[in-house]
Amino acid sequence: MAHAEGSQRRLLALYAGGTIGMRSEGGVLVPGKGLEAALRSLPTFHDAQQAQALGLPEDTLLLPPTNTDKWITYTVLEWQKLFDSSDMTISEWVQIAQTIEKHYEEYDGFVVIHGTDTMAFATSMLSFMLENLQKSVILTGAQVPIHTLWNDGRENLLGALLLAGQYVIPEVCLFFQNKLFRGNRVTKVDTRRFEGFCSPNLPILAELGSEVMISWELVRKVRGKAPLVVHSNMERNVALLRLYPGIPTSLVRAFLQPPVKGVVMETFGSGNGPTRADLLEELRMAAERGLLLLNCSQCMRGVVSSDYAGGMALAGAGMVSGMDMTAEAALAKLSFVLGRPGLSLDARKELLARNLRGEMTLPLLRPLLLASSGGLSVAQLLISLTQETEAVRDAFMPSLACAAAQSGDLDALRMLAKMGGGLSLQDFSGQTPLHVAARAGHSAVVSELLQGGVAVSTQDREGRSPLLLAVRGRHKAVVGLLRTAGAQLSSQELEDVGTELCRLASRGDQEGLRLWWQAGADLGQPGYDGRSPLLIAEAAGKTEVAAFLRSLQKGAGAQATQIDP
């Protein structure tokens, strides 16, 4: 079954090293070569029969079919010298950026296979090096080598390839344990558990489960058709200094001397530090001779402010607020700003204070992000917006309504309805509050929106209706409400459902099949190989599911198998 050339998505997988491909030598793990050969031997990573039928080049690997009409092919480019990530430096990250630049027009997306120990530094650096990015660049790796029986490498690499191959997320991202993060928002938080990274001050961009859930409202937007610009001139003489109680002024003085040109100061709490006169004088003198000082909190979450005397004193000493940046992102931003030629000290400080690659949350947007992740009620946010910010409020109305729907905040939704907008409008991703509530399973919110007369079958940018999201989220009460309101799956949504039904049948997932049936899907639809879910269930020995499918096929027992809404 050969597809047209236009349905092929070509990826470049750049293998720089790291745990994922390591092998044991002399009792220790060292970077191992031959990752492509290992992937070629795994059916999950290469459909050899289909690749031959399509006449693909020998160096090209082909992922098995997905639920879309896209064939995902990829080429593995393995570095001659593979690195443990602890040995990675700015020079190696520049080499990665230049490799992406060299092959930018040849491929639709890029996956970088990298060690985890310094991956947060790598994603932050690359986010600043790659300007005007219009394709997905996703870094991934593993806590356990892919050659080990029980490992996370296969799942991480496959997820990164699927996301880069099926979607255009024009950012430098990190994919780990089924979650896609903005690259300059992550930090490593665990050395052994598979869930090794977190994004403390920004929700995840996407999550892989029974379906791919992408928060398009958080994904950075492509601005026009500007060409890719790679910034290779990154300043190496930048440093991190973590303050601690009683830190000697002499130590700080020694640390701030040339050749250091910029320092990220990791301070206490919300950006506070000692108020000793001699220490503040050292900071003031360093700032006056042109040293850039960027203030970041040692806390995982929260923002730097000058609410306390300690924070005000540091600001007065010439330090620039790093807002809610991670230390990794702050160091990368310093390196980038100092590498820009011909800028005055004030211009560099102004650049540091700007949100360049989504690395920091501006004060105006922070309440909205907190609301979307449950940290602040949307009703409180709406009340706090004064008449002076009415235009801003109106611009954010669709996103505010979606945030309210996500958190199940009926009071906020009712307030928005009284204000005259938001409940039927689509956000950046094309989703309405009904989409969001259906995906989250908030049946009370869904009921309220339907009673308010919102459109029941609006499709988002991915062509998904609220009904489809409710089915994939396994929210049977929401499915019942939507069906009662007249919702139907579109022909586009049903186009590839046969493969999904066969997958559920092979797992004996009767609940999942029942939800698709409740939503109006024909459970007799064949999968990509022409076999029906019934044949798949019988072959897999799933007798209960096979009996259920046979009863539907014969038209018997319909009342007994009906799902209550």
Query: Could you give the residue numbers annotated as active site?
Result: 116
User: What residue type is 129 in one-letter code?
Assistant: M
Cis bond before residue 245 (omega within 30° of 0): no
A 10 A CB-CB count for 90 gives 19
Please say whether the beta carbons of 489 and 467 come within 8 A: yes
User: What residue type is 26 in one-letter code?
Assistant: G
Q: What whole-number distance in Å separates Cα of residue 376 and Cα of residue 370? A: 6
SS (H, E, C) 29-70: EECCCCHHHHHHCCCCCCCHHHHHHHCCCCCCEECCCCCCCC
Q: What whole-number distance in Å separates Cα of residue 471 and Cα of residue 520? A: 11
Q: Which residues contact 549 (CB under 8 A, 6 or more apart)?
A: 505, 513, 523, 524, 533, 534, 537
- Beta strand pairing call for 187-188 and 197-198: antiparallel
Least Cα distance to 505 among 489, 527, 477 occurs for 527
Strand, coil or helix: 211: coil
Q: What whole-number distance in Å separates Cα of residue 265 and Cα of residue 384? A: 33
Least Cα distance to 202 among 437, 366, 427, 379 occurs for 366
